Amino acid sequence: MTLWLLFGLMTAAAIFAVLWPLGRARAPQRAGNDIAVYRDQLDEIGRDRAAGLIGEAEAEAARVEVSRRLIAAADAAPVESIGPGATSRRRVAGVAALIALPLIAGGLYLTLGSPQLPGQPLASRDVTPLQDRSLDRLVAQVESHLEKNPEDGRGWEVVGPVYMRMERFDDAVKARRNSLRLNGPSADREADLGESLVAAANGVVTAEAKAAFERALTHDARHNKARFLLAVAAHQDGQPEKAAAIWRAMLADIRPGSPWIPMVREALAQIDPSSTPAPGPTAADVAAANEMKPDDRNAMIRGMVERLAERLKQDGSDMEGWLRLVRAYTVLGDRDRALSALADARRAAGQDADKLRRLDELVKELRLEG
């Protein structure tokens, strides 16, 4: 009820502010005498010119000035229709508008609105932030933009990965072809096109996709996506040795911590199970951890090291695991544990000369003598 009363007062105030000036009576403006004077002056100028008292130029200048004043006086003359009767009529119209407009607005709202709908708390309203909007709706907006601007290379490049995420692989192929055409060739764009072609072919590396990966390598000989999928192509073509060679080369030069490392290891293990590394931190894992915050890095490395040490207690035959454990303790600066792990490794090696030799080489490398 209070809200309705407030709305009514606001409406009345707005109407009153607009109609109030119209309801005020105007003071009559008396300009009739001035008009008569200016007309007499014009007649006098004509008589003086006829008598030769002033020249034509002076007479014309005087006429112009007096005429200007005459027009101004005529504009200021009172309007006959604005009288007491007109003022009364305006006031009546104002009062009628003040009453009728709120009634009309209220009637329309009751007819077309929903006054019976209860209020909704702000917290429960559907205020959807941008990041939570429907992906389909956002993609539709991009598609509408690209329909009007088909030469927008940036738009095609942005929508390509989204199509891949939505598993609209044919659309992804189209988008990445357009991106390549409009933005120019690069290793990433060629590899992305090949990836889309592979997805559209249900995982088969087609000849067109293979050509795209080969073009990517002409721009960047170590492009991971292109190399990985070329290895997949070799495996599909019945050349597992070639595929394994590519994946081994990738493991040799991929930067530490790269997300490609576990993928390559898994793929390589399918061809050569003996190439699967034992669980535990590698030198690459430890080096990658150096990029993390100190507390996070130490927690990650120590967790990995403890898991490796526990496994080696159960099965000490894994010499590669012992070597990694000793190296990891050394990287962590824990010399005592490194020496303890080294002693355990020697016991596990027994009389195996090759294993003992590798342990001795590690001692020299890490300078753990004495």
Domain of 312 in residue numbering reads as 283-366
Can you tell me the mean pLDDT for 155-166? 92
- Which CATH number do you get for residue 293? 1.25.40
Q: What pTM, to 2 d.p., does this model score?
A: 0.44
Whether 125 maps to a domain, the answer reads no
The predicted pLDDT at position 246 comes to: 93
Q: What is the domain count for the chain? A: 3
The predicted pLDDT at position 43 comes to: 79
Whether 291 maps to a domain, the answer reads yes
The predicted pLDDT at position 313 comes to: 82
How many angstroms separate the CA atoms of 284 and 288, rounded? Answer: 6
Looking at the fold, whether 271 and 288 belong to one and the same domain comes out as no
Residue with tokens 């060679």: 245
How many angstroms separate the CA atoms of 85 and 30, rounded? Answer: 19
Looking at the fold, whether 20 and 44 belong to one and the same domain comes out as yes
- Which CATH number do you get for residue 270? 1.25.40.10
Whether 149 maps to a domain, the answer reads no
Whether 307 maps to a domain, the answer reads yes
CA angle 234, 214, 151 (to 5 degrees): 130
Handedness of CA 70, 75, 80, 82 (dihedral sign): negative
Looking at the fold, whether 30 and 49 belong to one and the same domain comes out as yes
Can you tell me the mean pLDDT for 241-259? 86
Whether 290 maps to a domain, the answer reads yes
Handedness of CA 336, 341, 344, 350 (dihedral sign): negative
Looking at the fold, whether 248 and 289 belong to one and the same domain comes out as no
Looking at the fold, whether 60 and 20 belong to one and the same domain comes out as yes
The DSSP secondary structure of 249-307, one letter per residue, reads HHHHHSPTT-THHHHHHHHHHHH-GGGPPPSS--HHHHHHHTTS-HHHHHHHHHHHHHH
* pLDDT tens digit sequence for 297-347: 566 667 778 888 888 887 787 787 888 888 888 877 888 888 998 889 899
Whether 139 maps to a domain, the answer reads no
Phi, psi angle pair for 203, to nearest 5°: 90, 0
Looking at the fold, whether 177 and 266 belong to one and the same domain comes out as yes
Where is the domain boundary, 223, 247, 275? 275
Q: Which residue has the higher pLDDT, 328 or 178?
A: 178
Where is the domain boundary, 253, 275, 297? 275
Q: Is the pLDDT of residue 210 over 90?
A: yes
Where is the domain boundary, 251, 275, 299? 275
What rounded mean pLDDT belongs to the chain?
77
Of 285, 280, 217, 284, which is closest to residue 252 (Cα–Cα)? 284
Whether 210 maps to a domain, the answer reads yes
Whether 96 maps to a domain, the answer reads yes
Confidence of residue 124 (pLDDT cuts 50, 70, 90): very low
How many angstroms separate the CA atoms of 44 and 344, rounded? Answer: 134
The predicted pLDDT at position 327 comes to: 84
Looking at the fold, whether 160 and 271 belong to one and the same domain comes out as yes
The predicted pLDDT at position 56 comes to: 76
Looking at the fold, whether 290 and 263 belong to one and the same domain comes out as no
The predicted pLDDT at position 84 comes to: 52
Looking at the fold, whether 172 and 225 belong to one and the same domain comes out as yes
